[in-house]
Amino acid sequence: MNLSKALMVEPGKKIELDRRDPDSTGRFKSKKAAYAVMEKNLERLGELQSVLYAENQRSVLIVLQAMDAGGKDGTIKHVMGPLNPQSCKVCSFKTPTDEELSHDFLWRIHKQTPRKGEIVIFNRSHYEDVLIARVRQFVDKKVWSKRYGQINDFEKLLAENNTHILKFFLHISKDEQLKRLRERIDEPAKNWKINPQDFEERQYWADYIRAYEEALSRCSTPDAPWFVIPANKKWFRNYAVSQIVTEALEAMNMAYPKPDIDVSKLRKMS
C-alpha cells in the first residue's frame, strides 16, 4: 500500500483518531533516510509546478488543519517553501472580520481558491466553521450541522472546475502540543508565537478531537480526500506531505503545451 492510501481517510468511513499513532514514522527509522527521499520529492514538485503553470488547465488546493502548534507553518516552510512564488501562494484564515461575518461562511474562502495553473495553500480553512465554531459554540448546532454538506458541495464544485484538492490533518498528541507550546516560552526566537489562548484551548482537547473526527469522516470524499499525517516527528510530517502531494501531481499526467509557432524555423534563424 502506498503512503497516500495508508494515510487517507477512506470516503464514507468513520475515523477514530486514537487509532492513528501521531508518533508513526512509517517505513523510516531515521530523519536522514526520510529527508533523502524528500529532497527528491521537492525537486520533482518544482518540475511539476512548472508544468501545471505552463499547461494552465487546472489548479491545486492544499488545506492544512491541525491543533494549535500542530506544524502548519513548518509544513509550509519546509515543503512548500521551495516552490516558485509566481504560481504558489499561502492564504491564512484568522478570526472573520465584520464584513466576512455579514456573508455566508464560504464567501471569504471562495475568493482565495486557486486560479488555473496555480497552487494555493490554506493555513486553516473553511473547516474552522465546523471546528472552533462548533466547540466554542459560536453558532448553534442547527447552523454548523448543515455545514458538512455545504462544504462537500463547495469542494465538489471546485473539483468539477479542475481544482485538485488535498487536505491534511497534522495529527499531534496532547503531550507533544504542550512541549511545543512550552518551547515558545523558553526559546526567545519563538516568543513571538506565544498566544495565551492556545493554552486555554487545551481544556477543550477532547471536544476538538470529536469535532475533527466528524469533519474528517463526513468530508473525506473522492473529490477532496483527507489525509491524517502523523506529525509528532516533524521530519516525517514533512516527508509524508511532500510524498502525497508529489504522488497526486504525478497522477494528473500533465504535459507542457505545444508551441503555437514552428520552433524548427526559429532554430534555423538563431
> DSSP 3-state assignment of 117?
coil
Give the pLDDT confidence score for residue 270 in this predicted structure: 62
Give the pLDDT confidence score for residue 253 in this predicted structure: 95
What cell numbers appear for 68 in the block? 494549535
Tens digits of pLDDT across the chain (270 residues): 689 999 999 999 999 999 999 999 999 999 999 999 999 999 999 999 999 999 999 999 999 999 999 999 999 999 999 999 999 999 999 999 999 999 999 999 999 999 999 999 999 999 999 999 999 999 999 999 999 999 999 999 999 999 999 999 999 999 999 999 999 999 898 899 888 888 999 999 999 999 999 999 999 999 999 999 999 999 999 999 999 999 999 999 999 998 877 777 767 766
- Given the C-alpha cell 500542530, which residue does it identify? 70
Q: Say what the pTM is.
A: 0.95
Strands of 119-123's sheet in order across:
88-92, 119-123, 59-66, 163-171, 226-230
3-state secondary structure 122-172: EECCHHHHHCHHHHCCCCCHHHHCCHHHHHHHHHHHHHHCCEEEEEEEEEC
Among 242, 250, 258, smallest CA distance to 47 is for 250
Q: Which domains does the chain have, with CATH numbers?
A: 3-252 (3.40.50.300)
